[in-house]
């Protein structure tokens, strides 16, 4: 209520109000210039401490409060001057005209138009304060009615919300200190050992010695690349309860960020629809607000079987999702939940649980029957092609020539579960395929999903999963949000990577399918540098990072540089401005390299600083459309840092636009696959995509919750496992031979840390270790067959070096086990399969990669089969013919033959030959022990090894032995002439 007789404030026009003594509030006691308390508060906050009329100091805030108001009012004023947020300051800074105190002298008591913007902002601020004061009174009144215990709980929740959402746990110094010390000691011993080996040649077997020294130098280099990126391992802990306290307040809409899930599949006969359906069901039932979840299934094979199975899945989800959320089921993939061999009644307190679980299991069995019936029906394709329920022909009958298809099953269609609750959105997507276009396999499918999701839902974060990786922890998304939505951590975060965990692997993990050493040792080490590499699945992306934008902490480039990097027409943005200071040539070079690294070199925060004219020039045909493609809807979505779709958007229009962005010609002459999205050029697009993001200055985080976030299936038989490893290795070779090789790419920007670069170099050069590894595995057999050895007679120094190297290797492994928690068995299995894969799959990958580069011969990889067989480890003993099996089989036979020949020679030559024999046999047994899982898998359950593998291996081993005896290349000329003379004398 306005008080009569109270003067109006000359700044904002409102009345100045009354003080505690009932008199009008006075800010300046020298000239009595009318100024209200709020305007005075703002003047002091802005640093203007003197009266704008007479320039007399206002005095301390408390003194002013005592002169013109109560002590309580003064405290409120003083506190207000310190509690304005930076966001409010930023608004005022853009809206307020900057007027000096000298200019203010010319303002009459009725105000001057030059203060209009300032007055409006003050009025708005004052209204906000009045509303806040009313709300505080209301809250106090309500709080008086709330019990004390509840008030304390609310205070505790607000306190939890203010705390950090995650915490870094460095490895204890008692573990990390000795580990680093041993690494340094081992490095020194390794240098001394290489020096000794180089300076002490074996003249009697010079070729063998030279080969072994070259191999040992490469192994030392490979160890450095693998070891030093693990210099700073860290552990992390998340606090999902604090996340809920901050973004999910009771009675208010959830403020958690939306997430788009991507699930990719190609061939439903090799990737059973039931496996894909379980992944989809686990996503739909995830513990996250339903309006924030959308699931996109990419069917890159355009199979009607996949489409029909999703129809059945969407129907079953209406029963499954409420059941999971009602009883807190884990995991929320029905196949894996019902197959658990645990007490499913543990922690369940509702009496109706047993009854509803039985009913749900029965419904799931019926659902499985329907899906399996679809699979059986799809085994034989009709001559006229598949027909849909309405009688029309299935558009994807020709998987290589079909239009784009999109079907929204849940979500926007208004479908609800059996309890009437909303369900997450489920979208089927099959991008257009036409002959003559390059579709880029999985990377192309993922990029199509990026565009479709941007048009339909545009969630700020993307979580991609393989079709056989289901959500094992329903709170996994919340775990990731503890990093991505943290104001401090999330600003520079491109993705959160979860470790891969697997079901259906034999207890001994014969072929190291779990990759425990990589996921629990190497990835923790990378997390302490710039972040883990992207491994293709179980990863939550910041959508802006996929678009090629730089992180928020990246130093802003000059506006002229960023705008001109898009088009020459943007140069007019810089006209009329002062010429920039001449740059140093090194700085110019670095800026040029930055432009090479970034598709969109500017950050979104830089765009906010452009005026409308500059912004319109930036969003033009020569800039954004050249980068992102000809879709206005999609381009606008890329500028929405927090995601979301306009409320006025028409769903039918969005579907048409979504069909447009998945057309096969959409990516032509754009930056898709080159600078933005999943990067093309390698069958391991995951490594390349993560590498580009790290080169732009982003960092990633490794999240390892106590309950594994995702679980998948692994190829457990030997043949499929080797083909999987072959695919990974070939992708690394392709990156090594491309322009994105970490040996030379991304140096100019200076954003990739050196240890991180070493880690990426290790990921692309490890297949080349197969060449020295094959040679080193054959050397023991050669030594046994020829009687020669690669090491001369050991001196005391040499013995110390050998023992020191041996103990340092053991110590490094033991200390790694100590801080990582990996078991000895897992470490040994990893070591064994490193040899098995090195002498087989990695070797073939090197030759195939070189042939592809030189002759353009591309390799077509078949999709690894995802087993749906109920028999446990049913495929473990299955052997399929493949040429990859020949090299390790040959090495095994040659070493076994060498051991037999060595013992036979020792028995014939006397006791003096037994000493050197043990050294040779030790190396031969080292090879045989490492290849033992391969030998066991080769034999199968009942000696089912393909005959052709045995015949080829024996033939190669026999030819090798015969040629060796005839040529004997490692025996010196003097030794050969001496042997000939002795033979002649014996004949005489």
- Contact present, 6 and 35 (Cβ < 8 Å): no
* Angle subtended at Cα 465 by Cα 359 and Cα 533, rounded to the nearest 5 degrees: 145
222 is in an annotated binding site: no
Residue with tokens 């197959």: 339
Put the strands of the sheet holding 405-408 in their side by side order: 405-408, 425-430, 293-299, 259-265, 461-466, 539-542, 493-497, 699-702
Residue with tokens 């000794």: 196
Q: Are residues 451 and 483 in the same domain?
A: yes
Q: Last residue of a domain, which of 686, 714, 742? A: 714
Q: Are residues 706 and 774 in the same domain?
A: no
In terms of Cβ atoms closer than 10 Å to its own Cβ (0-12, 13-18, 19+), residue 192 is middle
264 is in an annotated binding site: yes
Q: Are residues 901 and 754 in the same domain?
A: yes
Q: What are the catalytic residues?
A: 300, 686
Q: Last residue of a domain, which of 25, 41, 59? A: 59
Q: How many domains does the chain have?
A: 3
> Distance between CA 55 and CA 43 in Å, rounded?
13
Whether residue 250 lies inside any domain: the answer is no
- Contact present, 895 and 497 (Cβ < 8 Å): no
Nearest to 262 by CA among 78, 428, 22, 481: 428
Whether residue 818 lies inside any domain: the answer is yes
Nearest to 471 by CA among 336, 626, 623: 336
Q: Are residues 819 and 924 in the same domain?
A: yes
Q: Is the dihedral of CA 617, 621, 626, 627 positive or negative?
A: positive
Q: Are residues 707 and 735 in the same domain?
A: no
466 is in an annotated binding site: yes
Whether residue 975 lies inside any domain: the answer is no
149 is in an annotated binding site: no
Q: Are residues 267 and 209 in the same domain?
A: no
Q: Are residues 345 and 489 in the same domain?
A: yes
Q: Last residue of a domain, which of 59, 74, 97? A: 59
Please list the residues that pair with 294 across neighbouring strands.
260, 425
Whether residue 836 lies inside any domain: the answer is yes
Q: Are residues 266 and 404 in the same domain?
A: yes
- Contact present, 711 and 469 (Cβ < 8 Å): yes
DSSP state for residue 166 in the 8-state scheme = E
- Contact present, 765 and 225 (Cβ < 8 Å): yes
Q: Are residues 774 and 686 in the same domain?
A: no
How many helices (H) and strands (E) are present in the chain, helices listed first? 38, 13
CB atoms near residue 373 (< 10 Å) = 11
What CATH number did the domain enclosing 409 receive? 3.90.550.10
> Distance between CA 620 and CA 628 in Å, rounded?
11
Residues in the chain with pLDDT < 50? 1-4, 60-123, 125-126, 143, 556-581, 593, 596-603, 621-622, 861, 868-871, 942-943, 969-974, 976-988
Nearest to 848 by CA among 769, 768, 772: 768
DSSP 850-917: HHHHHH----PPPPPP----SSTTTTTT-----GGGHHHHHHHHHHHHHHHHHHHHHHHH-GGGHHHH
Whether residue 476 lies inside any domain: the answer is yes
Whether residue 429 lies inside any domain: the answer is yes
H helical segments located in 25-100: 37-45, 61-68, 71-80, 86-95
- Contact present, 893 and 934 (Cβ < 8 Å): no
Per residue in 791-801, pLDDT (tens digit) is 777 677 778 88
270 is in an annotated binding site: yes
Q: Are residues 741 and 880 in the same domain?
A: yes
For 800, the token pair is: 């110390």
pLDDT at 1: 38
φ and ψ of 842, to 5 deg: -65, -35
| DSSP-derived 3-state class of residue 501 | strand
Q: Are residues 710 and 736 in the same domain?
A: no
Range of the structural domain that residue 288 is part of: 255-380+396-500+535-552+671-714
What CATH number did the domain enclosing 31 receive? 3.30.40.10
Q: Are residues 187 and 314 in the same domain?
A: no
Query: What pTM was estimated for this model as a whole?
Result: 0.74
* Alpha-carbon separation of residue 743 from 181, 752, 757 (angstroms): 28, 12, 8
300 is in an annotated binding site: yes
> Distance between CA 814 and CA 618 in Å, rounded?
57
Whether residue 116 lies inside any domain: the answer is no
614 is in an annotated binding site: no
Whether residue 453 lies inside any domain: the answer is yes
pLDDT at 263: 93
For 122, the token pair is: 């003050």
Q: Where do the DSSP E strands lie in 680-800?
A: 699-702, 710-713
């Amino acid at each position: 209520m306005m008080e009569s007789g109270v003067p109006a404030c000359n700044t904002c026009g409102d009345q100045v109000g009354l003080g505690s003594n009932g008199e009008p509030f006075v800010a300046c006691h020298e000239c009595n210039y009318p100024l209200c308390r709020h305007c005075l508060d703002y003047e002091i906050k802005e640093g203007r401490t003197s009266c704008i009329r007479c320039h007399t100091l206002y005095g301390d805030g408390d003194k002013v409060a005592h002169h013109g108001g109560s002590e309580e009012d003064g405290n409120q004023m003083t506190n207000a001057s310190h509690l304005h947020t930076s966001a409010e300051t930023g608004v005022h800074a853009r809206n307020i005209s900057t007027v000096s105190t000298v200019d203010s002298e010319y303002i009459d008591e009725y105000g001057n138009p030059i203060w209009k913007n300032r007055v409006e902002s003050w009025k708005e601020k004052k209204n906000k304060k009045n509303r806040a004061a009313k709300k505080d009174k209301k809250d106090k009144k309500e709080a008086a009615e709330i019990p004390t215990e509840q008030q304390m709980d609310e205070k505790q929740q607000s306190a939890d919300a203010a705390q950090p959402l995650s915490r870094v746990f460095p490895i204890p110094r008692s573990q990390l200190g000795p580990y680093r010390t041993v690494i340094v000691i081992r490095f020194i011993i390794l240098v001394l050992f290489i020096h000794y080996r180089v300076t002490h040649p074996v003249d009697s077997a010079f070729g063998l010695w030279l080969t072994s020294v070259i191999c040992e130098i490469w192994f030392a280099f490979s160890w450095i690349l693998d070891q030093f990126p693990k210099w700073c391992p860290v552990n992390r802990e998340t606090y999902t309860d604090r996340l809920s306290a901050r973004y999910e307040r009771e009675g208010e809409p959830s403020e958690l960020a939306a997430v788009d899930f991507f699930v990719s599949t190609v061939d439903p006969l090799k990737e059973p629809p039931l496996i894909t359906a379980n992944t989809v069901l686990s996503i739909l039932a995830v513990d996250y607000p339903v309006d924030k979840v959308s699931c996109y299934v990419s069917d890159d094979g355009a199979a009607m079987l996949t489409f029909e199975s999703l129809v059945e899945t969407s129907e079953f989800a209406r029963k499954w999702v409420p059941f999971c959320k009602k009883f807190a089921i884990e995991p929320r993939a029905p196949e894996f939940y019902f197959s658990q061999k645990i007490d499913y009644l543990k922690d369940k307190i509702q009496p109706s649980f047993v009854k509803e679980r039985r009913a749900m299991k029965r419904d799931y069995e019926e659902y499985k029957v329907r899906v399996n019936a679809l699979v059986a029906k799809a085994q034989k394709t009709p001559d006229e092609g598949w027909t849909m329920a309405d009688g029309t022909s299935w558009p994807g009958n020709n998987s290589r020539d079909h239009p784009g298809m999109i079907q929204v099953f849940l979500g926007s269609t208004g479908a609800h579960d059996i309890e009437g609750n909303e369900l997450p959105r489920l979208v089927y997507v099959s991008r257009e395929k036409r002959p003559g276009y390059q579709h880029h396999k999985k990377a192309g499918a993922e990029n199509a999903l990026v565009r479709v999701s941007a048009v339909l839902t545009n969630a700020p974060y993307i979580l991609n999963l393989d079709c056989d990786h289901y959500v094992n922890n329903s709170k996994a998304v919340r775990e990731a949000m503890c990093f991505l939505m943290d104001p401090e951590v999330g600003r520079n975060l491109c993705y959160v990577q979860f470790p891969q965990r697997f079901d259906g692997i034999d207890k001994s993990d014969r072929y190291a399918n779990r990759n425990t050493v990589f996921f629990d040792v190497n990835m923790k080490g990378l997390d302490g540098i710039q972040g883990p590499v992207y491994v293709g699945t179980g990863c939550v992306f910041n959508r802006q990072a996929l678009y090629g934008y730089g992180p928020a902490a990246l130093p802003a480039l000059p506006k002229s540089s960023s705008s001109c990097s898009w088009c020459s027409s943007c140069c007019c943005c810089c006209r009329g401005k002062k010429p920039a200071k001449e740059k140093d040539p090194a700085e110019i070079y670095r800026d040029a390299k930055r432009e090479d690294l970034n598709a969109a070199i500017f950050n979104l925060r830089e765009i906010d600083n452009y005026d409308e004219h500059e912004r319109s020039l930036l969003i033009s045909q020569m800039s954004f459309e050249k980068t992102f493609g000809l879709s206005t809807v999609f381009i606008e979505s890329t500028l929405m840092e927090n995601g979301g779709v306009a409320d006025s958007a028409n769903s039918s229009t969005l579907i048409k636009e979504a069909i447009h962005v998945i057309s096969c010609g959409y990516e032509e002459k754009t930056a898709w696959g080159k600078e933005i999205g999943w990067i093309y050029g390698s069958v391991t697009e995951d490594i390349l995509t993560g590498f580009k993001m790290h080169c732009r200055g982003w960092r990633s985080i490794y999240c390892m919750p106590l309950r594994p976030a995702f679980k998948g299936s692994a190829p457990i038989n030997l043949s499929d496992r080797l083909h999987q490893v072959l695919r990974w290795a070939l992708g690394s070779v392709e990156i090594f031979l491309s322009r994105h090789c970490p040996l030379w790419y991304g140096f100019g920007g200076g954003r990739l840390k050196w240890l991180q670069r070493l880690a990426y170099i290790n990921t692309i050069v490890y297949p080349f270790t197969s060449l020295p590894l094959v040679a080193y595995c054959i050397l023991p057999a050669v030594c046994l067959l020829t009687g020669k050895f690669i090491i001369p007679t050991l001196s005391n120094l040499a013995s110390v070096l050998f023992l020191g190297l041996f103990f340092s290797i053991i110590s490094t492994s033991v200390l790694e086990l100590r801080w990582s928690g990996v078991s000895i068995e897992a470490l040994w299995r990893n070591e064994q399969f490193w040899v098995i894969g090195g002498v087989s799959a990695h070797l073939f990958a090197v030759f195939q990669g070189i042939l592809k580069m030189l002759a353009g011969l591309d390799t077509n990889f078949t999709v690894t089969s995802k087993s749906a067989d109920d028999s446990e480890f049913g495929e473990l003993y299955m052997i399929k013919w493949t040429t990859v099996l020949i090299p390790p089989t040959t090495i095994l036979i040659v070493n076994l033959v060498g051991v037999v020949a060595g013992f036979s020679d020792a028995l014939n030559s006397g006791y003096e030959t037994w000493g050197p024999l043990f050294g040779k046999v030790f190396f031969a047994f080292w090879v045989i022990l490492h290849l033992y899982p391969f030998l066991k898998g080769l034999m199968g359950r009942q000696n089912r090894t393909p005959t052709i593998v045995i015949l080829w291996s024996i033939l190669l081993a026999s030819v090798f032995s015969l040629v060796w005896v005839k040529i004997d290349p490692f025996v010196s000329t003097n030794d050969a002439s001496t042997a000939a003379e002795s033979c002649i004398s014996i004949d005489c």
